């Protein structure tokens, strides 16, 4: 289910926004339109949706329109054209009263520079939103305390913002946003003002909090690593337009254009690309149905020297090596399980390939990818892992062990199609 749907959204800043539309239709650029009409195209026909309980990251360079978009979601900025559906109601068409209700009950915002009230205590800040919504003192105290608890600030209620570090101040910002238990959290570069270590820690905490709370989060950042870490899906903006929306893996593996490519160039792909995306089908035999002659024939056909054995329910049993199968066949017995070799590394589909490197180097056979119950999903070749690692390193930077490993290759991986 989609909590937010943005349809054909435009925001033109300037005195005569409508003058920009004919030029946009002619395909004129943001810069040309500014020069010709004095108007700034901040959002240019944006379309996207945000699913319930996902972290949706909007990413782009400074000036690409991110802040304007997030402010159109709660109508802190008035869209020029288009629809913004919140739980299927168009906020663009709402009365002022309904917008206020939506902001108070459904959506909360966390800002880059915390926006705390300096004369108020931490508790006073956390309960501020509830206070202006007219919630009774006792109830709002209790909710604000719970929210402070959630972000790890118990014991700090009576201090003032200036007595807290940046990271802690932003926790107060987060507690204030959580106090009214909103369905949607809008986070505008919420961690960008923090130094890198604290920022990393806050990202981890947000993910932990999200695992418990399951909010729908729209998170804005200009930082790709942050986007990849936090986002279930990422929307990339350029000059007010959405250039690509996808999962972190999709953004990395299928960048829509050179702009996205430039963004993702320096990312450590091995942390993001998972086994599932480089996995391929295994050539298999089924135990106890298949005997050594079936195994030998399949290996010959595929040009491989070992084959993956599963049982009738697809549980992974090990591999059958061709020499063993030939011996078994000559001995006139046909129980493949007696020669099933269990010395094959296994992994899960969501394991980042960076974690597989060590095992892959040691193993002579492609790794078996199993689901959580142990069923065989596919296999991962070291050459496929290598290809991704190569995308990451320059030749000279590559660790020596990897170079050797790559040079040695693997008979299994090269031949099988």
Exposure string of 8-17, with b = 16+ CB inside 10 Å and e = fewer, is ebbbbbbeeb
| Binds ligand ADP (CB under 6 A): choice among 48, 60, 252, 267 | 60
- The DSSP secondary-structure symbol of 79 reads -
Give the range of 20-28, 66-74, 93-101, 194-202 binding ligand ADP by CB under 6 A: 66-74
Q: Which stretch binds ligand ADP (CB under 6 A): 60-68, 94-102, 154-162, 338-346?
A: 60-68
Binding mask of the shown chain, residues 30 to 49, with x at each position contacting ligand ADP by CB under 6 A: ----------x-x-------
Q: Which is nearer to ligand ADP, 221 or 347 (CB)?
A: 221
Between 67 and 125, CB nearer to ligand ADP: 67
Report how many helices (DSSP H) and strands (DSSP E) the chain contains, helices first: 19, 16
Rounded to a whole number of angstroms, the minimum distance from the CB of residue 131 to ligand ADP is 28
The three-state secondary structure class of 284 is strand
And the tokens for 330?
């000559």
Binding flag, residue 67, ligand ADP (CB under 6 A): yes
Query: 167 and 201 in contact (C-beta within 8 Å)?
Result: yes
Shortest distance in whole angstroms from residue 287 CB to ligand ADP: 57
Q: For strand 2-13 and strand 40-51, is the pairing parallel, antiparallel, or unpaired?
A: antiparallel
Dihedral, CA of residue 121, residue 124, residue 125 and residue 127, to nearest 10: 160
Quick one: which segment of 59-67, 109-117, 194-202, 365-373 binds ligand ADP (CB under 6 A)?
59-67
Task: Specify the residue, 42 or 367, whose C-beta has the smaller distance to ligand ADP.
Answer: 42
Q: Which two tokens stand for residue 58?
A: 């909007």
Is 68 a binding residue for ligand ADP by CB under 6 A? The answer is yes
Contact 376, 369 (CB under 8 A): yes
Stretch that binds ligand ADP, among 55-63, 108-116, 318-326, 333-341 (CB under 6 A): 55-63
Q: Does 65 bind ligand ADP (CB under 6 A)?
A: yes
- Rounded to an integer, what distance in angstroms lies between the CA atom of residue 110 and that of residue 184? 11
Applying CB under 6 A, the residues found at the interface with ligand ADP are: 13, 40, 42, 60, 62-68
């Amino acid at each position: 289910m989609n909590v937010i749907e943005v349809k054909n959204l435009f925001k033109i800043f300037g005195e005569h926004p409508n003058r920009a539309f004919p030029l946009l239709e002619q395909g004129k650029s943001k810069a040309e339109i500014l020069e010709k009409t004095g108007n700034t195209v901040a959002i240019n026909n944006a379309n996207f949706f945000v699913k319930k309980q996902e972290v949706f990251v909007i990413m782009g360079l400074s000036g690409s329109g991110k802040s304007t978009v997030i402010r159109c979601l709660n109508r802190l900025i008035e869209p020029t054209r288009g629809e913004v559906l919140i739980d299927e109601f168009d906020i663009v068409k709402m009365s002022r009263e309904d917008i206020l209700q939506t902001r108070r009950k459904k959506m909360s915002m966390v800002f880059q520079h915390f926006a705390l009230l300096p004369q108020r205590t931490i508790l006073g800040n956390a309960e501020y939103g509830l206070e202006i919504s007219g919630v009774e003192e006792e109830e709002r105290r209790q909710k604000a305390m719970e929210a402070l608890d959630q972000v790890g600030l118990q014991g700090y209620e009576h201090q003032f913002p200036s007595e807290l570090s940046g990271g802690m101040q932003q926790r107060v910002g987060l507690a204030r946003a959580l106090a009214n238990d909103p369905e949607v959290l809008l986070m505008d570069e919420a961690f960008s003002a923090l130094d890198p270590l604290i920022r990393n820690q806050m990202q981890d905490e947000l993910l932990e909090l999200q695992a418990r709370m399951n909010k729908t989060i729209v998170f804005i950042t200009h930082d790709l690593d942050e986007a990849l870490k936090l986002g279930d899906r990422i929307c990339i903006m350029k000059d007010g337009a959405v250039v690509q929306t996808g999962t972190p893996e999709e953004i990395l593996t299928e960048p829509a254009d050179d702009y996205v490519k430039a963004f993702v160039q320096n990312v450590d792909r091995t942390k993001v690309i998972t086994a599932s995306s480089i996995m391929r089908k295994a050539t298999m035999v089924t135990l106890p149905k298949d005997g050594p002659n079936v195994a030998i024939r399949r290996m010959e056909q595929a040009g491989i020297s070992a084959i993956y054995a599963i049982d009738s329910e697809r549980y992974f049993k090990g591999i059958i090596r061709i020499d063993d199968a030939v011996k078994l066949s000559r001995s006139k017995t046909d129980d493949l399980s007696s020669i099933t070799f269990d010395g094959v590394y296994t992994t899960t589909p969501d394991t980042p390939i960076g974690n597989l490197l060590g095992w892959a180097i040691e193993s002579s056979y492609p790794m078996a990818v199993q689901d959580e119950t142990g069923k065989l999903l596919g296999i991962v070749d070291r050459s496929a892992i290598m290809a991704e690692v190569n995308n990451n390193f320059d030749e000279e930077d590559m660790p020596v062990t990897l170079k050797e490993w790559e040079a040695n290759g693997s008979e299994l991986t090269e031949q099988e199609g």
